Structure 1
Amino acid sequence: MLKLYYAPDNASLILRLALEEMQLDYETVLVDRGEQEQHSPAYLAINPMGQIPALDTPDGILTETAACLLWLCDAHPAANLGAPVQSQKRGVFLRWMFFLSNTLHSDLARTFYPDRYVPKATLSAHHQIMTKRLKKHFSILDSTLAAHPSLFHAGSALSLYICPLLRWSALYPTDQEPWFALTQYPNLARLAQQMEQRDSVHAAVKAEGLGVNPFTRPRLPMPPEGSAI
């Protein structure tokens, strides 16, 4: 059985959504960030980077969110969440999968945890630069949804990655004025609304305490176990 190492409302949420969407049997193992368990010897033996998630599969333990999501798509092609290896859409699918992981998600991390990347004296300027970049990323993504509806439909792998990013952009960083407004991106807003109707999202909401409208009107999580931060 697949095993997901997770913390509530972390990047592992993307994989939980995929597992639920595919209706796969899996178990979860809490990595409690409140207790810094991601840096414990036990978890570092699983993921030496000390990052969440990790996914234990028949092919071994996988890390990196996009790698895990891509493995799930390829291992379970009948679920039709991605584009098969021989599909003409494969290249476009990979392009936007790694745009989400390497560009958008990466820049969000730099925005949410600026002290890891820049000196304290430059935090304000860094925030302005990063949020400007992110707004451009979201504008590009909003336009792309209309051009590739078969890859970005609600329940697709790309949609499962996008919607948590929308959520986190609206919520974080908590010590700054809000910088993200979903209403500025009509295609993304429509996707978020559609995703909130799906059973996979309902399951994740219950498991991780995300609230009734986790993407369109997000609130800070109230998980039944563990800590998001």
Structure 2
Amino acid sequence: MTNRLRLHYAPDNASLCVRLALDSVGASFDTVLVDRAARGQKSPRFLALNPNGLIPVLETPDGVLFETGAILQWLSDHHAGLLPDSGADRAAALKWLFWLSNTLHPNLRMLFYPDHFTSGDADALRSTTRTRINGQLAILDSAHDAPWLDAEHPGAPACYLAPMLRWLALYGGDTAWFDLARTPRLLAFARAADTWPVTALARTAEGLGPTPFSDPHLPNPPEGSAT
């Protein structure tokens, strides 16, 4: 255990969601670069922290955490502002946080790494996954109980969603399939996310460019590699 938060990260990976949340609440934390170019996420040292070999890991006074949704939930338990305190708003925010973690994010992994999920036709899997993701984004775009999409201050679900919209535009293969203009509320969300103060910090730390969520470009990180 550590008395100080320590984020194991790689640029433009799921650790970006955690970085945004940490900076959103003003948490003090150290970063440890995971060298993806050298498959650092599969090294014995990293696997001792997360046997799944996936980024991110957050070392905390309560122990080592992995899984992006779990880390965001833990942070919300220890810092005000990431989730509503109680009532219907908290219930709805938790629902969407776990929807992002359990429904949308796994489909992104299937899109980006289809060979991890099938020994057959990877292109066919990617095609059906694109269709499924577009349907899921349409559901979120029309959600009546997701006020966090329109909030000025990024909470846990917003910190999770913004990077995923970025990755869909960059890493999904033929990017012509993905158009945020088809989901105008999500497009407005991404444009607002570009202007968050915490986004400026992440842009500098990970080389994300001037409009990282609404009109993203491949990162130029000061250290490490996104892939």
Which residue pairs with 2:199 in the alignment?
201
Contact 2:148 2:158 in 1 (8 A): no
Which residue pairs with 1:99 in the alignment?
99
Contact 1:21 1:200 in 2 (8 A): yes
The match for 2:67 among 47, 64, 69 is 64
Q: RMSD of the TM alignment (CA)?
A: 1.4
Within 2, Cα distance between the matches of 1:219 and 1:7?
Answer: 17
The CA deviation string for residues 143-184 of structure 1, in whole angstroms up to 9 with x for no partner, is 11x54325752412111111101000011134x353211111
Q: Which one-letter code corresponds to 2:170 in the other structure?
A: L
Within 2, Cα distance between the matches of 1:214 and 1:57?
Answer: 28
Which residue pairs with 1:81 in the alignment?
82
Contact 1:55 1:62 in 2 (8 A): yes
Question: Residue 10 of structure 1 aligns to a residue in which SS?
Answer: coil
Aligned residues with identical type, % of pairs: 45
Give, in angstroms, the shift of residue 89 of structure 1.
2.5
Within 2, Cα distance between the matches of 1:177 and 1:47?
Answer: 31
The CA deviation string for residues 48-100 of structure 1, in whole angstroms up to 9 with x for no partner, is 111100001111110000000011011112xx12122x433232122111110
Within 2, Cα distance between the matches of 1:160 and 1:60?
Answer: 22
- Shift of the 151–173 alpha-carbon distance from structure 1 to 2, 3 Å rule, reads closer
Where does structure 2 lack aligned partners over 5 or more consecutive residues? none
Q: Which one-letter code corresponds to 1:221 in the other structure?
A: P
Contact 2:93 2:148 in 1 (8 A): no
Which residue pairs with 1:223 in the alignment?
221
Contact 2:96 2:146 in 1 (8 A): no
The CA deviation string for residues 111-165 of structure 1, in whole angstroms up to 9 with x for no partner, is 100011112x412211111000000000001111x54325752412111111101
Aligned length: 223
Within 2, Cα distance between the matches of 1:177 and 1:152?
Answer: 26
- Shift of the 150–105 alpha-carbon distance from structure 1 to 2, 3 Å rule, reads closer
Task: Give the TM-score normalised by the residue count of structure 1.
Answer: 0.93
Task: Give the TM-score normalised by the residue count of structure 2.
Answer: 0.94
- Shift of the 151–180 alpha-carbon distance from structure 1 to 2, 3 Å rule, reads closer
Contact 2:148 2:157 in 1 (8 A): no
Q: Which one-letter code corresponds to 1:81 in the other structure?
A: L
Which residue pairs with 2:124 in the alignment?
125
Question: Residue 55 of structure 1 aligns to a residue in which SS?
Answer: strand
Q: Check if 1:109 corresponds to 2:109.
A: yes
Where does structure 1 lack aligned partners over 5 or more consecutive residues? none
Q: Which one-letter code corresponds to 1:179 in the other structure?
A: W
Within 2, Cα distance between the matches of 1:202 and 1:51?
Answer: 25
Within 2, Cα distance between the matches of 1:101 and 1:166?
Answer: 14
Within 2, Cα distance between the matches of 1:4 and 1:25?
Answer: 11
- Shift of the 199–98 alpha-carbon distance from structure 1 to 2, 3 Å rule, reads same
Within 2, Cα distance between the matches of 1:73 and 1:151?
Answer: 17
Within 1, Cα distance between the matches of 2:213 and 2:149?
Answer: 19
Q: Check if 1:44 corresponds to 2:47.
A: yes
Within 1, Cα distance between the matches of 2:175 and 2:189?
Answer: 25
